[in-house]
Chains A and B, each alone.
Chain A
Amino acid sequence: MRNGVRFAGGQKGISTDALIDTLAGDLSATPVPSVRRTLALAFAFGSAVSAAAMLELLGLRPDMASALATASFWIKLIFPFGLAVAGLMAVDRLGRPGAAAGRGYAVGIAVAGTMALLASVQLATAPRDAIRPLLLGHTLDHCTALIMLLALPILAAGMYAMRQMAPTRLRLAGAAVGVTAGALSASIYAIACDETALPFVTLWYGAGIALTGVLGALLGPRLLRW
Chain B
Amino acid sequence: MDVSAPNPPLDALMIAAQAGDEAAYRALLKALAATLRSYFARRLGRDASVEDLVQDTLIAIHERRATYDPQRPFAAWFFAIARYKLIDHLRAARRSASSPVEEIEDIAGADEETPASARLDLERLLDGLPQRSRDIVRTVKIEGQSVAEVSLRSGLSPTAIRVLLHRAVKAMSAKVGNSRR
B residues 72-89 in Cβ contact with A at 8 Å:
72-73, 76-81, 83-84, 88
B162, A28: Cβ atoms under 8 Å? no
1/0 per position for B15-34, CB-CB distance to A under 8 A? 00100101001100110010
Contacts of B58 in A (CB 8 A): 16, 19-20, 23
A99, B30: Cβ atoms under 8 Å? no
Q: Do most interface residues of chain A lie in helix, strand or loop, or is the interface mixed?
A: loop
State in angstroms the CA–CA spacing of A219 and B29 once bound together: 33
**Shortest distance between the CB of A21 and any CB in chain B (Å):** 7
Q: Which of A3-11, A78-86, A207-215 forms contacts with chain B?
A: A3-11
A168, B81: Cβ atoms under 8 Å? yes
**B168 CB–A CB distance under 8 Å:** no
- Kindly identify which residue among B22, B33, B60, B66 contacts A226, using a CB–CB cutoff of 8 Å: B60
- Kindly identify which residue among B80, B83, B88, B162 contacts A14, using a CB–CB cutoff of 8 Å: B162
Contacts of A6 in B (CB 8 A): 105
Chain A CB count within 10 A is highest, among B26, B66, B141, for B66
State in angstroms the CA–CA spacing of A22 and B158 once bound together: 7
Give the number of residues in B that approach A within 8 Å (Cβ atoms). 47
Contacts of B65 in A (CB 8 A): 32
The residue on A at minimum CB distance from B62 is A23
Given A6-B105, A22-B159, A23-B58, verify A16-B51 contact (CB < 8 Å).
Answer: yes
**B54 CB–A CB distance under 8 Å:** yes
Contacts of B77 in A (CB 8 A): 96-99
**Shortest distance between the CB of B120 and any CB in chain A (Å):** 18
Chain B CB count within 10 A is highest, among A19, A34, A168, for A19
- Kindly identify which residue among A2, A5, A23 contacts B29, using a CB–CB cutoff of 8 Å: A23
Would you mind naming 7 contact pairs between A and B with Cβ atoms under 8 Å apart? A7-B109, A7-B140, A8-B140, A34-B66, A95-B67, A97-B81, A99-B69
